[in-house]
């Protein structure tokens, strides 16, 4: 979506007369991208669908508070990521999973996800990513899979560009170390 298209969509979202149609366009335009970002955090397909719905509900109920200080996509990603983190934290809490055991918790979700259709290499990469601390995992996914610029990530995650670059560098190193075990 170009900047002009996004600006027009925001204008339509903020106008009560065109809000519903514009929201339908927003859902069609961003569902897939947000789904995959959410799925990288919550792992399971079913959970990702639930979180995506929750994110769109939150977007709908808060659309009037969007001030345009950032790009619409940045705001959408921020909501989706925050909903994902809240969901995972709530699941950990409900299942009494200690914070230091969270990578095993997520890895078991990955292994039991019947919708995961990757090959052995993709499974190893996903397991390596799951060993990362949450913030590094999110930064790695945004940079590696979404090819997002650090400046946009900075707005989404409320973190400095320098800290994001360091997080990405450490994440890559940890993933390389994890994957080197298999060679």
For the chain, the average pLDDT equals 89
- Please give the radius of gyration of the chain, using alpha carbons only, rounded to the nearest integer: 17
Measured in whole angstroms, the distance separating CA 132 from the mean position of its chain's CA atoms is: 15
Q: Comparing 181 with 164, which gets the higher pLDDT?
A: 164
For residue 6, give every residue at least 6 positions away whose Cβ sits within 8 Å of its Cβ, in sequence order, or none. Answer: 71, 72, 73
Q: Comparing 134 with 23, which gets the higher pLDDT?
A: 23
Label residue 107 by pLDDT band (50, 70, 90).
low
Is the CB of residue 101 less than 8 Å from the CB of residue 140?
no
Query: How far apart are the C-alpha atoms of 156 and 74, rounded to whole Å?
Result: 6
So what's the pLDDT on residue 92?
A: 80
So what's the pLDDT on residue 83?
A: 97
Is the CB of residue 149 less than 8 Å from the CB of residue 121?
no
φ, ψ of residue 3 to 5 degrees: the values are: -60, -40
Alpha-carbon distances, residue 49 vs 20, 63, 87 (angstroms): 21, 21, 12
Tally of CB atoms within 10 A around 34: 25
Percent of residues, the chain, with pLDDT higher than 90? 66
Query: How far apart are the C-alpha atoms of 103 and 61, rounded to whole Å?
Result: 33
| Model pLDDT for residues 35-93, shown as the tens digit of each residue | 999 999 998 899 999 999 999 999 999 998 888 888 999 999 999 999 999 998 898 88
Joined tokens for residue 158: 């409320």
Tally of CB atoms within 10 A around 174: 18
Angle at 115 between CA 113 and CA 121, to 5 degrees: 80
């Amino acid at each position: 979506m170009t900047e002009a298209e996004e600006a027009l969509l925001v204008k339509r979202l903020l106008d009560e007369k065109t809000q519903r149609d514009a929201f339908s366009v927003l859902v069609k335009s961003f569902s897939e991208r947000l789904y995959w970002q959410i799925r990288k955090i919550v792992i399971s397909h079913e959970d990702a669908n639930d979180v995506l719905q929750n994110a769109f509900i939150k977007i709908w109920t808060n659309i009037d508070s969007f001030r345009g200080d950032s790009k619409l996509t940045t705001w959408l990603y921020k909501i989706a990521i925050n909903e994902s983190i809240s969901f995972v934290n709530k699941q950990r809490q409900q299942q009494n999973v200690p914070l230091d055991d969270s990578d095993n918790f997520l890895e078991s979700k990955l292994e039991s996800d019947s919708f995961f259709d990757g090959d052995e290499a993709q499974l190893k990469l996903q397991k390596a990513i799951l060993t990362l601390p949450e913030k590094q995992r999110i930064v790695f996914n945004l940079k590696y899979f979404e090819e997002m610029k650090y400046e946009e990530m900075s707005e989404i995650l409320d973190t400095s560009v320098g800290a994001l670059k360091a997080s990405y560098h450490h994440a890559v190193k940890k993933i390389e170390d994890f994957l080197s075990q298999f060679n």
